[in-house]
Structure formats: C-alpha cells, structure tokens
C-alpha cells in the first residue's frame, strides 16, 4: 500500500502533464489531495509544487473548487510553510516575492533570475521555496533571457579542465537516464575513441524524474570508477589507449548535485535538466562539439538558442533521440539539427535499410542495469548483432552529419572494422 507521500507524488505526476499540460485531477483525486495536505508524512516541497501548479494552470471545475477552498481556508488546510502562496503577508524573504511575480506569469529580469538561482544553491535555502521558484519558472515557460542567464550562471560555476585535442565530442545526454531502453550512449565513447575522436560524457548517479539507467550506474556495475577527479578524467581522454572519459556532477558541480533531493521531491523536470547537460566539465582547446537530444518539439528552438550561447561550443548536433537522449532510434527517422561554424541545417537522420536493425525492438519496460551493460558490451564486440548495428548507425550518423569524415563509404567500413577487430572493446577495457 502506498504511503501519503507516494500518493501525493502520483497526483502531482497527473496534474498538468501531457503535450499541453492539460491533464487534470478528478473530484476523487482532489478529495484525496485535501487529506494529504495536512498529513505529517508528506514533503512540503512536493505539496508546494502541486499547489503552484493549481495556481498557474487552467483548472477543471472540480480542481477550481479545490483551489478556492484552499484559498479561502488556507490556514486550516495546508501547513504554514505554504501560507505565503496564498497571502503575501507571509512573504518573509525576497525569493517569496519573486515566486509570486512568476506565478502571475511575469518574466524575471537578469538580476532577478540570478538572485533566485543564488538562493537555490545557497546552503541556507529552504527546499520548498527552491521548488516553488523552479516549478513556477517551468509552468510560466522560461524566457530566453531567463534561460541564457541560467546557463551562464551554472556554466561559470562549473569546475572544468581544458583538453588539448583536435576535436572533443561532448556526448551531452539527459542526466535522469533511460528506463525503457538500454543506455547505449556510454558505449558510443569507446567506439569514437578507437576511431581517433576523443569524447567526454558527464552525468550523475541518478536524478528525478526517471531515476533511470545512467552512465554512472553502468560504469559502477562494470567495475569502473565513475567519480574520478577531473584531472584523472582529462588524463584518460588524452591517453591513446583510452580516448574518452566520464565526469560526475558530484565532482564537477557540487552546487547542482546538492539540489538532487529538492528535484526528487518536486518530481517535475525543472530548467536544470536542460542546463546541466551543457556545463561542459571537459572543454576542448581547439574544436568542441556538443551532441545532444531533445524530446518534445517545443524544446527544439530553446535547445538551439542555448547551444548557440554555450561559450566553448564550436559546433553542435542534436536529434529527437531515444528517451530524449543523443541516441538515434533504430526503427524510424528522427529530426536532426546540425551547426557547423556559422551554418545551421535541419534534416532527418534515417536508419540503414537493414532488416535486423529496423525490426529489432529495443524497448524493454523492466530493463535492468545488468541487461543494459550486457547490451553495450555486445555492441562493442559484435558488429553483426542488433546492438552492434545500432551503435554503428549512431556513430555513422554522428560522424557524417558533422562532416568529420572525408569519405562516407570508408566511414562505415572503418566503424565496422574497429568493432570487429576488437579495437573498440579494448578502448572500453582500458578505462
């Protein structure tokens, strides 16, 4: 039986989701929510997040009845830390006034958004206020100024190393991982390295909302250290026998990592989920290429703007990938956006006309870390396997789209050979 917090999370997941944030709670759901509001077993962060959603989204008649009851009787209906949402008299900190402003769908100035972010990473901050600030920004939809200011804020606080290599491919995938497919992103790196392209991965153990299969978990299960120092990661990227490295957020950005509990309790994905992918803990002295992904078409324009403002990014490629990652799906074409120097092109990445690849269903709702690791190892050792062909297709699409290889025909041969010869697997083993 679910406890009150689990039930509250379930309600929050249903409120304001879907393409237009239009999904709603039933009359029975609202009655349950009223009971949970005064439970001693819930997180004020989770409750604050759902109350902000009620204040900012369109409500059904049943939801509006719930909200009006809270507004008229909030002193009896909700815990005191949430009072400020319904009466500015209870605002005792500037962040609470800023939250009120955002709830009214008013954009922040650069000074305001920076003060809000400073509060969010402060050790003295209150978690439910951080959640209210981030959720209100999400529901209002961050302005371009808010997005760029947030990127600059966290980018400037990133601990990083400069890498002296001709090209560094930054595989920037969502930090919450995969929960319906094997995470093959990690295994792109040793293949790229075996072809002479240095690559960087980064992430964390896991984070809301998926808490999925991450590079950190795969490395840990494979007996490799996911929490190397930045100097050690840089050294491995520069090693001819390795050529790739993984940086963990707990090492390179303690401020962001410290927000993991807040993000768990607020459930919904804040702007941090996008910004953290572009902090670049390893930065090329020469050509830095970011390869990333997106889920919803609405994120396309936002992603382009952000990538164009990443200080050390020289080129980028992003796709509508598997579970929002930088991994192209095997069974259908996906939108592809590429920036080489000043030009921006949009097209599609299309799988090979290979029956084994096209017809293999990689989706597995209950996939485990062990199964994902086994799939990756298979891909690195067997170019004829379904997993091997999936990796080959992704590497081929990456190298040709970014025009890193002079001959399209020879590129495919080189990728197949580096796997069949055991070279790609050796770059994995050497890490």
From CA 294, how far away is CA 376, in angstroms rounded? 22
- Same domain assignment for residues 91 and 240: no
The confidence score (pLDDT) of residue 21 equals 57
Taking a C-beta distance cutoff of 8 angstroms, is the pair 303, 274 a contact?
A: yes
Same domain? 188 vs 321: yes
Is 67 domain-assigned?
Answer: yes
The verdict on residue 124 lying in a domain is yes
Domain end position, chosen among 106, 141, 176? 141
Q: Are residues 366 and 238 in the same domain?
A: yes
Report if residue 149 sits inside a domain: no
Cα–Cα distances in angstroms (integers) from residue 151 to residues 23, 113, 277, 308, in the given order? 30, 11, 10, 11
d(CA 267, CA 259): 12
Assess whether 352 and 204 both reside in one domain.
yes
Q: What is the domain-level CATH number for residue 415? A: 3.40.1030.10
| Same domain, yes or no: 386 and 291 | yes
The CA distance from 253 to 148, in Å, is 18
In a domain, 147, yes or no: no
Token pair 């490629």 in the structure block, residue: 317
Tell me whether residue 176 is in a domain: yes
Q: Which residues of the chain have pLDDT under 50?
A: 18-19
Average pLDDT, the chain: 94
Among 88, 109, 141, the domain boundary falls at 141
Helix (H, G, I), strand (E, B) or coil at 51: helix
How much is the pLDDT for 20? 53
**Co-location of 201 and 107 in the same domain:** no
Closest CA to 102 of 149, 48, 47, 141: 141
Is residue 333, in this structure, part of any structural domain at all?
A: yes
Asked whether residue 96 falls in the same domain as residue 239, the answer is no
- 281 and 349 both lie in a single domain: yes
The confidence score (pLDDT) of residue 359 equals 78
For residues 311 and 326, the answer to whether their CB atoms sit within 8 Å is no
Give the pLDDT confidence score for residue 364 in this predicted structure.
Answer: 83
Taking only the tens place, the pLDDT of each residue in 348-390 is: 999 888 777 777 888 888 899 999 999 999 999 999 999 999 9
Structure-token match 């500015």, residue found: 88
* Domain endpoint, select from 109, 141, 173: 141
Q: What pLDDT was estimated at residue 18?
A: 47
Say how many domains are in the chain. Answer: 2
Tokens encoding 329: 């799906």
| pLDDT single digits (tens) 158-207 | 999 999 999 999 999 999 999 999 999 999 999 999 999 999 999 999 99
Closest among 84, 91, 142, 150 to 116, alpha carbons compared: 150
Residue 68's pLDDT is: 97
The SS3 assignment for 80 reads helix
Helical packing angle, 144-156 and 299-309, nearest 10°: 40
Judge if 137 and 175 occupy the same domain. no
- Antiparallel, parallel or unpaired: β 334-340 and 315-319: antiparallel
Judge whether 157 lies within some domain: no
Q: Does 216 share its domain with 278?
A: yes
- Domain residues for 387? 163-429
Residues 134 and 167 in one domain: no
| Whether residue 388 sits in one domain with residue 280 | yes
Is 296 inside any structural domain? Answer: yes
Strands annotated E in 331-396: 334-340, 343-349
Strand, coil or helix: what is 251?
Answer: helix
Instruction: Give the tokens for residue 68.
Output: 């009006």
């Amino acid at each position: 039986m679910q406890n009150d917090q689990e039930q509250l999370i379930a309600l929050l997941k249903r409120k304001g989701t879907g393409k237009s944030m239009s999904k709603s709670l039933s009359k029975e759901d609202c009655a349950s929510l009223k009971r949970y509001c005064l439970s001693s077993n819930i997180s004020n962060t989770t409750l604050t997040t759902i109350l902000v959603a009620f204040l900012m989204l369109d409500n059904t008649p049943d939801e509006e009845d719930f909200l009006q009851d809270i507004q008229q009787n909030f002193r009896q209906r909700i815990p005191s830390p949430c009072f400020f949402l319904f009466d500015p008299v209870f605002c005792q900190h500037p962040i609470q006034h800023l939250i009120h402003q955002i709830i009214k769908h008013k954009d922040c100035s650069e000074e305001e958004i920076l003060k809000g972010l400073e509060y969010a990473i402060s050790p003295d901050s209150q978690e439910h206020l951080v959640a209210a600030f981030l959720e209100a920004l999400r529901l209002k939809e961050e302005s371009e100024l808010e997005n760029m200011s947030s990127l600059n804020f966290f980018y400037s606080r990133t601990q990083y190393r400069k890498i002296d290599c001709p090209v560094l491919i930054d595989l920037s995938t969502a930090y919450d991982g995969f929960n319906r497919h094997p995470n093959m992103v990690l295994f792109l790196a040793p293949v790229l390295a075996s072809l002479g392209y240095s690559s960087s991965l980064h992430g964390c153990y896991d984070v809301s909302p998926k808490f999925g299969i991450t590079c950190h978990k795969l490395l840990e299960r494979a007996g490799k250290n996911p929490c190397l120092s930045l100097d050690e990661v840089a050294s491995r990227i520069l090693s001819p026998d390795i050529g790739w490295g993984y940086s963990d957020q707990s090492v390179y950005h303690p401020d962001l990592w410290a927000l993991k509990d807040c993000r768990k309790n607020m459930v919904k994905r804040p702007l941090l989920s996008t910004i953290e992918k572009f902090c670049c803990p390893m930065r090329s002295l020469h050509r830095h290429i970011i390869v990333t992904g997106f889920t919803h078409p609405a994120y396309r324009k936002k992603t382009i703007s952000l990538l164009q403002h990443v200080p050390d990014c020289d080129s980028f490629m992003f796709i509508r990938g598997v579970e929002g990652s930088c991994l192209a799906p095997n069974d259908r074409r996906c939108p592809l956006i590429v920036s080489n120097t000043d030009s921006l092109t949009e097209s599609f990445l299309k799988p090979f006309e290979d029956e084994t690849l096209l017809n293999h269903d990689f989706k597995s709702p209950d996939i485990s870390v062990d199964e994902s690791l086994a799939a990756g190892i298979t891909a690195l050792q067997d170019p004829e396997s379904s997993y091997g062909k999936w990796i080959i297709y992704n590497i081929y699409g990456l190298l040709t789209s970014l025009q890193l290889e002079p001959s399209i025909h020879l590129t495919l041969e080189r990728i197949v050979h580096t796997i069949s010869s055991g070279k790609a697997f050796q770059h994995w083993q050497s890490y």
